[in-house]
Structure 1
Amino acid sequence: MRRKGGFWWLSVLCLGLLVILAGCGSNNAASNGNSGAAAISGTAAEGDAEKEPVVLKLTTWNPISQTVVDKFQEKYPYITIEHDKVYDQFREIIRTRIVSKSDMDMLWLFPNQVAEFSKENVLMDITGSPWLDNYLEAAVKLGTVDGKTYGVPYNSQPIVMFYNKTLFDQLGLAIPTNWEELMAVSEKIKASGTAPMVIGSKDGWATQFITTSQFGLYQHDNADVFSQLASGDKKWTDPEFTGYFDGMKELADKGYLLENSVGLSYDQVAQVFKEGKAAMWPMGEWGYSENFDADFSAFELSAFPIPVNRGDQPLVTNLVSDNLLVGVSWSKHQEEIKLFMEFVAEPEMAKIWSDETKQAVTVKGGTSETYSPLAASLQPLIDASEAQIFPSMTSSIEPVMFPIFQQILLKQDVDTTKLLEQMQTAQDKDI
C-alpha cells in the first residue's frame, strides 16, 4: 500500500532538449527512427552518472526482497540500498538510535511506534503521495496519525481457519461464511467423531483468534474504535462489546474444542491438528510455513477467513501487518527515499517481493498467486471479503485478555460482564 516521488523534471528537461535538437534539423536523427529513444535513454543515464552516490540505509527485523532492491538499483544506479537487519530487541535498538539521531534513512516500524515517533518529529511526512493509492485503504490508515501519513505496512499475513479439506469433503461440508454456518459445520464434525476445533492455552497469545477476529467487524462499524478505546472516549463496557467473549464461550460450552487440549502449547496444537485429531485450527497464516512442509500428506490442508460475522454483518479478513515502511526526517536523502517508496509500491515489484518473502502484501494486486501453496485457494476468499488491519492494543490489555481466554477455554464459571470490566480496568491504566 504505497509509493511516490520521482524526478519528473528530468524527463521534461530531456524532452525539451529533444525538441530543440529536432528543430535544428539533424539529418542523422531523421534517418534513424530509434534515435529519439536512444537520446532520452542516453541523457537519463548521463544524468544519473553525474549524481553523487547515495547510500540508503534500510533497517528491518524481517527479510526483504533482494531482487526488488537489485531492480531499484538498476533503475537508479547512483543509489545503493544497505540492508541493516536487527533480529533482537528491535524496539529498544531503534529508540536508542533515534534518541542519538543516528545516520538513518528508512525503517520498518510497528504501528504504535509510528504513533509515538510522529509526535517527536522523527518521521517524514508522506501525506498525499500519489502512490499511496496503490495500497489497501486500511493500510494507509494504519500509518496515518492526526491526519498525516508517515508510513504504510508492507507485508501482511491473514488470520485464518486452517481446516482438514479431506474430512470436509468426506462429510460434504462447505466452507462456512458466517458464525451460524461455522456452528452448523462444527456440529456435523462433532457427530462424525472428530473434534471440530483445537485451541491450546499454554501460550496465551495463541488463544485469541476466535475472539480478536471480531476486531475487523468493530473497525468496519467504526474505523476509529481502537484509538477511541485508547483515549478513553470508548469503553470495553460499552454495549457494542457485550458479545466480545460469546464466540469462544459457545465453542467451549458446546464441546466443539478438542478434549483435554486446553493446556497444549502452540507447537503441540499444530501437531495434534496435523495428526487429524481436530478438523479446524484458528491461527495466523504463519502457522502454515512454521508447521507444514512439502512432504505433508496426512490430509489435504486448506484455509478460509474466520467467519465471526453474524446475521447481516460482513465477512472481514483480519490482516496482521505491522512492518510500516517510514522515512527518517533528518535523512539527507529525502527524494531518494521517496523514489524507493514509489518503486516498491508498483504491483509488479510487490509481486516479486511477495514471492521472495513468502508473504502477502498490502499493495493492491501485488500479492503473488504463488507465494504460498495455499495462495491459490485462500487469496480469492480473502479478496472476496473485506480486509482490515489488525490493530495494536495498548500495553496493559494483552496481559489481562489472554488469561481471560484461558479461563473460558477451561470452562470456568465466567461472568462476561465482569470480564469486560476487567478489560476496561486494564485499559484505564493506558489512558
Structure 2
Amino acid sequence: MASRPSRIRRAPAVVAALLGALLATACTPGSENAAAPPTTDRAVQTDIAALGPVTLTVWDQEVRGGQNEQMERLNAAFQERYPNITIERESRSFDDLATTLRLAITSNDAPDVVQANNGRADMGAFVAAGQLLPLQPWAQVYGWDQRYPESVRQYVSYTPDGKVFGEGEMYGLPQVGEVVGVYYNPAELQRLGIAVPTTWEDFEAALATAKAAGTTPVQLGNVEGWPALHVFGTVQDQLVPAEQVTDLAFGRAGASWTTPENTQAAQKVAEWARAGYFPEGVNGIDDNQAWQAFSRGESPFLIGGTWYAPDLEAAMGQNVRFMPPPPPAGRPVSATGGTGLPFSITSGSDAPDAAAAYLDFITNADAMAVLTETGNLPVADTAAQTPPAGLSADVFAAFAQVAENGELLPYLDYATPTMGDTMGAALQDLIAGEQPPEAFLSTVEADYAAFVDANG
C-alpha cells in the first residue's frame, strides 16, 4: 500500500505561510545578497572506504510509518556497506523541517544531507544563496541522468541563480513520486449503471449521469483552498497544451494565464460547480471530511493525489480504485504530479562525496524495492515493482503510465512563492459563483506577472 508521499501534499496556504517566514530572512532568487553558485568543476571520489571515518548528518522528514521504516532500513544497510560512515539522523515533521532548515544550513555546523521542498521559496532560495551543491559531478558518475526521466528531473532542477525552475542543474534526488488522479467506487458506479470512464468525454458523461440520479458526483472539501487546485489542475491538464501548463507552473516569462485554453478550463470548473457536481457548501467542508464522505460511498468519484491511498484503502478495502485522469480522445494521459521532498547536499558539508554516495544508495534500484515493501510509491523503477493487488497496484501503474508514457505536469502553486494562497482563494470564489472565470484568471495572472517581472 502506498503511503502518503513525504511531501505530505499539501495545503499551499499553510505551506506558503511557513515559507513566507523563511523568505523574510532568506536570500531570494535574484537577490543582491545571493552568493556565488558552488562550482560544478570538482573531482569525485567514489571509493567511500578510502575517505576514512566520516560522520554524515542527515535531516529528513520521513516520520510517518512506512516512511520512517524505509529510512531506518536504508540507513542501516548503508552503514553496513560502509562501516567507516556513521549516520546521525535528525528526523523532523514537515512543518518543523520547514521552520528550522533555513537556519540549519547557514550555521557553522550545517547538516550534510537535507530534504528541501522543491519549490521556489525553499530550494530556489537555497540555490540562489549558494547553500546547496549542484549534483552534476556525481550525476555523471552514478548515472542519475539515466535513473530519472526528464519528467522527474525537472522538479529538482534550477539555474544556478535560482531564477529558473525546471531547467539547469539537479539540486536534489527524490525517493517517492505522487500523481493526482481519480479515485472511484466500483460498487457505486455499478449501482448507478456507469462504466469506468476511459476518456474525458466518458468521465464528464459519468458525472452528469450521477447527478441526474440524485448523487453528488465528486467529493470535494475546499475550506483550506488547496484541494480545488488539484481539481482545476486536473481539468486544465485535459484542455490546455502540456507545454503551456509547464511554463505557467514553473513561473516562466512569456506565459499567461489568460489564454483561451485556460479560460475554457476555468469555465469548466465553474460549470461543474453550477451543475451541483460538488457537495453543497463545498468551501465550508474540509479535506478530511471530503475523503471520508467518499469512503462512505456518498460519491462515486474523488479527484486527488496518491497520498489519500492508505487511508482510503484502510476504510474501503477492495472497493476503491484509482486511475489517472482519463484523457480526451486522441490525447496522451496527462496529470498533475511530481515528487516528494528531494534529498540535497548542502554547501556546508565537509563530506560531499560520502553524501553523494548516500543519495545514490537511498535512490537506487534496491532502495526502490525497499520503498515498495514499506508501502511507499517509488519515483524511479516504478513499473518494475510488484505492489499488492488492488489500490496499491493502481497507484503504481498510474504513476508509471503518466511519468513514462504521458505528461506529468507540475503543481500549479510552484508558479510563484505566493500562488498557493492567491489561487486557492480565487478558486473558492470561482466555485462559489462569486467571481466569473475571466476575473479568476485575472487575479491569478496579476500574481504571476508581478513575480515574473520581479524575477527578471
TM norm structure 2: 0.75
- Residue in structure 1 matching 2:130, options 112, 115, 121: 121
Call closer, same or farther: CA 1:85–1:387 in 2, change over 3 Å: farther
User: Offset at 1:182?
Assistant: 0.8
CA distance in 2 between partners of 1:215 and 1:260 (Å)? 23
- Residue in structure 2 matching 1:378, options 384, 387, 395: 395
Q: Percent identity?
A: 19
| 1:142 matches 2:155 | yes
- Give deviations 1:118-154, integer Å, cap 9, x for gaps: 2222212212431331123222122121222221322
Greater alpha carbon shift after TM alignment, 157-166 vs 260-269: 260-269
- Residue in structure 1 matching 2:349, options 318, 331, 341: 331
Call closer, same or farther: CA 1:366–1:164 in 2, change over 3 Å: closer
One-letter identity of the residue aligned with 2:395:
L
| 1:98 matches 2:105 | yes
User: Offset at 1:280?
Assistant: 0.8
CA distance in 1 between partners of 2:328 and 2:423 (Å)? 23
User: Offset at 1:248?
Assistant: 1.4
One-letter identity of the residue aligned with 2:396:
Q
Instruction: Give the 3-state SS of the residue equivalent to 2:372 in structure 1.
Output: helix
Q: Partner residue of 2:294?
A: 273
CA distance in 2 between partners of 1:197 and 1:224 (Å)? 26
Give runs of aligned pairs for residues 349-428 of structure 1, distance below 5 A: 349-356=367-374, 358-365=375-382, 368-370=385-387, 374-385=391-402, 386-388=406-408, 390-391=410-411, 392-412=414-434, 414-428=435-449
Q: Partner residue of 2:53?
A: 53
Tell me the number of residue pairs that the alignment of Structure 1 and Structure 2 aligns.
383
CA distance in 2 between partners of 1:124 and 1:181 (Å)? 47
Q: Partner residue of 1:72?
A: 78
One-letter identity of the residue aligned with 1:415:
P
Instruction: Give the 3-state SS of the residue equivalent to 2:368 in structure 1.
Output: helix
> 5+ residue gaps in structure 2?
1-42, 160-167
One-letter identity of the residue aligned with 2:129:
E
Give runs of aligned pairs for residues 107-186 of structure 1, distance below 5 A: 107-111=114-118, 112=120, 113-127=122-136, 128-129=139-140, 130-146=143-159, 147-186=168-207
Q: Is the 8 A contact 2:237 2:245 kept in 1?
A: no
CA distance in 2 between partners of 1:223 and 1:248 (Å)? 16
Q: Is the 8 A contact 1:159 1:318 kept in 2?
A: yes
Call closer, same or farther: CA 1:180–1:164 in 2, change over 3 Å: same
Instruction: Give the 3-state SS of the residue equivalent to 2:110 in structure 1.
Output: coil
Q: Partner residue of 2:90?
A: 84
| 1:312 matches 2:321 | no
Greater alpha carbon shift after TM alignment, 71-80 vs 205-214: 205-214
| CA RMSD, 1 decimal | 2.9
Instruction: Give the 3-state SS of the residue equivalent to 1:221 in structure 2.
Output: helix
Call closer, same or farther: CA 1:252–1:314 in 2, change over 3 Å: same
Q: Partner residue of 1:33?
A: none
CA distance in 1 between partners of 2:388 and 2:349 (Å)? 33
CA distance in 2 between partners of 1:252 and 1:401 (Å)? 17
- Give deviations 1:354-394, integer Å, cap 9, x for gaps: 332x3212113377433795122332244333252533231
User: Offset at 1:275?
Assistant: 2.1
Q: Is the 8 A contact 1:152 1:325 kept in 2?
A: yes
User: Offset at 1:327?
Assistant: 0.7
CA distance in 2 between partners of 1:187 and 1:108 (Å)? 43
Call closer, same or farther: CA 1:108–1:246 in 2, change over 3 Å: same
Q: Is the 8 A contact 1:125 1:148 kept in 2?
A: yes
Q: Partner residue of 2:10?
A: none
- Give deviations 1:157-190, integer Å, cap 9, x for gaps: 2212111111223445333243211111112223
CA distance in 1 between partners of 2:105 and 2:281 (Å)? 48
Q: Partner residue of 1:27?
A: none
User: Offset at 1:328?
Assistant: 1.3
Instruction: Give the 3-state SS of the residue equivalent to 1:124 in structure 2.
Output: coil
Call closer, same or farther: CA 1:152–1:220 in 2, change over 3 Å: farther
> 5+ residue gaps in structure 1?
11-46
CA distance in 2 between partners of 1:296 and 1:235 (Å)? 41
Call closer, same or farther: CA 1:223–1:415 in 2, change over 3 Å: closer
CA distance in 1 between partners of 2:360 and 2:228 (Å)? 38
Q: Partner residue of 1:244?
A: 265
State the structure with more CA Rg.
1
Call closer, same or farther: CA 1:311–1:393 in 2, change over 3 Å: same
Give runs of aligned pairs for residues 296-307 of structure 1, distance below 5 A: 296=316, 300-307=319-326
Instruction: Give the 3-state SS of the residue equivalent to 2:173 in structure 1.
Output: strand
CA distance in 2 between partners of 1:108 and 1:58 (Å)? 9
Q: Is the 8 A contact 1:352 1:368 kept in 2?
A: no
User: Offset at 1:97?
Assistant: 1.7
User: Offset at 1:349?
Assistant: 1.5
One-letter identity of the residue aligned with 1:116:
A
One-letter identity of the residue aligned with 1:212:
G
Call closer, same or farther: CA 1:155–1:371 in 2, change over 3 Å: farther
Instruction: Give the 3-state SS of the residue equivalent to 2:264 in structure 1.
Output: coil
CA distance in 1 between partners of 2:249 and 2:297 (Å)? 41
CA distance in 2 between partners of 1:191 and 1:118 (Å)? 52
Call closer, same or farther: CA 1:296–1:148 in 2, change over 3 Å: closer
